[in-house]
Amino acid sequence: MPNHPSPPGPASSAVSRRALLTGTAAAAGLGLAGCGSLSGGLSDKTRVKQWNLLAGADGAIMTEMHGDFSAEHPDIDLEATTFGWGTPFYTRLVMGASSGNASDIATIHLSRLKSLSPATLMDPITESELNDHGVAAEDFADGVWEKSFAGGELYAIPLDTHALVNYYNRTVCEQAGVLNPDGTLLETDGVEAYFDLLRAVKDVTGEYGTSLDTFAGWRQFWAWYRQQEGEMTFGDGDYEIDDDKALTAIEIMYRMAEEGLCPTFADGGQCAANFEVGSAGLVQVGNWEINRFRAFNEAQGLDFSMTEMPSFFNGHRYTQGDCHAFVLPRHNTWDTGVREATLEYAAYMLHNSFRWGEGGGHTPAYLPVTESAEYQALQPNAEYSGVVENVQFDPDVWFSGSAARLFDEVGGVLNQVYALATTPEDALAQIKNRIETLLALPSPVD
């Protein structure tokens, strides 16, 4: 199974935990949607309904932050509900928004915004509204802010950046001689320099230099393709891809596996386990895995840190990633008090996102937090905080983005590359064939 951020936990545990906190035992059903929030109702509080897909460790942090918000805003009744990660959540969101009966605010992947038909299923947000709540355009990295627009209107408020990063075992890397005097990983430039680093680490571990999820090869592919400034664009039933740059990215994967610098087969669990038990001195996975490795360190000892992806091409440290972001599902009518309270909630989450980054590993998108002295002193988070500027979103097309089909379809092909079961040339041909098959399908939203 691909290693996604906020992997789905057991549905019953996710719902029961949220139900206990919100008093909405029917949270998993459509009955929660209602007909729109009301200011007042059975109490003097303004009710704000929030939907999210955060069923992993980061979901626990969000629950904690929701409790803090409610304590500081006794006049707002926040009802937060977690649905199944990926397709179950997006299906529920589209169904609710299409009838105007979704939540007041929802947490989505920013890469999925345009696939949700925002002009018809989401309500735009004005910058003046955000300004009124202490949030401004300059508070976000340009690429993240621009991704929040569709058709010239603002539809999303970015909460974080989560991306593919490099974890490293300090003990192993020190023995391999690949640490700086301050204990950070040597920064390499170019493919061969990084391969040399992996070879030195492999000599220490006796097995691999780095571990990675061979089922989630889209992440590495997109990082190394974009570092070459490769573009993938879609429109009018056609698409453009740079074959040479795509082939170069795939060849890196093949070479890494062929030389034994990474596993030829490892799902998400095995990928992380290779790092935990010392079979690999490094691991390329998302920053959301920080809590897993912290727990392992506390239980058995694992002196690790994290840094951004290495630069393979053109001095870029671009990496595949995404953002969690808030959107306002379409309402038939908005109660003024509810909308104000909803935006107050979003602003609170941004202003207090130090806790989000500290506990969940995601890098806050709100730059006043990320660039603060407090956050820059937070380790290992500060070491990879540059992903806010370097994150590369998946291409704009309805079947792309987190929990979408492009990730899985391309990943299935690249898994065979890591397994050395297909050549890079054949893999590229298969990837293009799968993209063309997806292009022939109608968008389920449109």
Domain count, the chain: 2
Asked if pLDDT for residue 196 goes beyond 60, the answer is yes
Confidence of residue 67 (pLDDT cuts 50, 70, 90): very high
Mean pLDDT, to the nearest integer, of 43-72? 93
- Contact indicator for 354, 159 with CB cutoff of 8 Å: no
68 shares its domain with 216: no
Q: Where are the beta strands (DSSP E) in 68-159?
A: 76-82, 105-109, 122-123, 149-150, 153-154, 156-158
- Does some domain include residue 283? yes
Mean pLDDT, to the nearest integer, of 302-314? 97
- Does some domain include residue 364? no
291 shares its domain with 414: yes
Confidence of residue 42 (pLDDT cuts 50, 70, 90): low
- Does some domain include residue 4? no
Q: Given this model, what pLDDT does residue 57 score?
A: 82
209 shares its domain with 272: yes
Residue with tokens 């169904």: 95
CA distances from 266 to 109, 115, 215, 425 (A): 26, 30, 7, 22
Q: Which of 391, 407, 432, 439 is nearest to 242 (CA)?
A: 432
334 shares its domain with 233: no
Distance of CA 308 to the CA centre of its chain: 15
Confidence of residue 30 (pLDDT cuts 50, 70, 90): very low
100 shares its domain with 175: no
186 shares its domain with 155: no
Asked if pLDDT for residue 351 goes beyond 80, the answer is yes
- What percent of the chain clears pLDDT 70, i.e. is strictly above it? 90
Preceding amide of 380 cis, omega within 30: yes
102 shares its domain with 170: no
Asked if pLDDT for residue 425 goes beyond 80, the answer is yes
Q: What is the dihedral of CA 349, 351, 355, 356, to 10 degrees?
A: 50
Domain residue limits at 148: 11-159+323-351
Q: Given this model, what pLDDT does residue 445 score?
A: 79
88 shares its domain with 170: no
Q: Given this model, what pLDDT does residue 143 score?
A: 94
- Does some domain include residue 2? no
Mean pLDDT, to the nearest integer, of 310-330? 97
Q: Given this model, what pLDDT does residue 101 score?
A: 86
Q: What is the pLDDT of residues 217-245, one digit of tens each?
A: 999 999 999 999 999 999 888 999 999 99
DSSP assignment, residue 188?
Answer: -
- Does some domain include residue 430? yes
272 shares its domain with 124: no
- Does some domain include residue 6? no
Q: What is the dihedral of CA 153, 84, 359, 386, to 10 degrees?
A: -40
Q: Given this model, what pLDDT does residue 399 score?
A: 95
Rounded to the nearest integer, the mean pLDDT of the chain is 91
Q: Given this model, what pLDDT does residue 113 score?
A: 96
* CATH number (domain holding residue 188): 3.40.190.10
Confidence of residue 446 (pLDDT cuts 50, 70, 90): low
Q: Which of 317, 284, 318 is nearest to 392 (CA)?
A: 318
The pTM of this model reads 0.88
- Does some domain include residue 356? no
Mean pLDDT, to the nearest integer, of 337-357? 98
Mean pLDDT, to the nearest integer, of 22-46? 49
85 shares its domain with 220: no
82 shares its domain with 197: no
Q: Given this model, what pLDDT does residue 224 score?
A: 98
Q: Given this model, what pLDDT does residue 38 score?
A: 53
- Does some domain include residue 153? yes
Question: How far is Cα 68 from Cα 433, in angstroms, rounded to an integer?
Answer: 49
DSSP bridge partners of 76: 46
307 shares its domain with 327: no
- What percent of the chain clears pLDDT 90, i.e. is strictly above it? 85
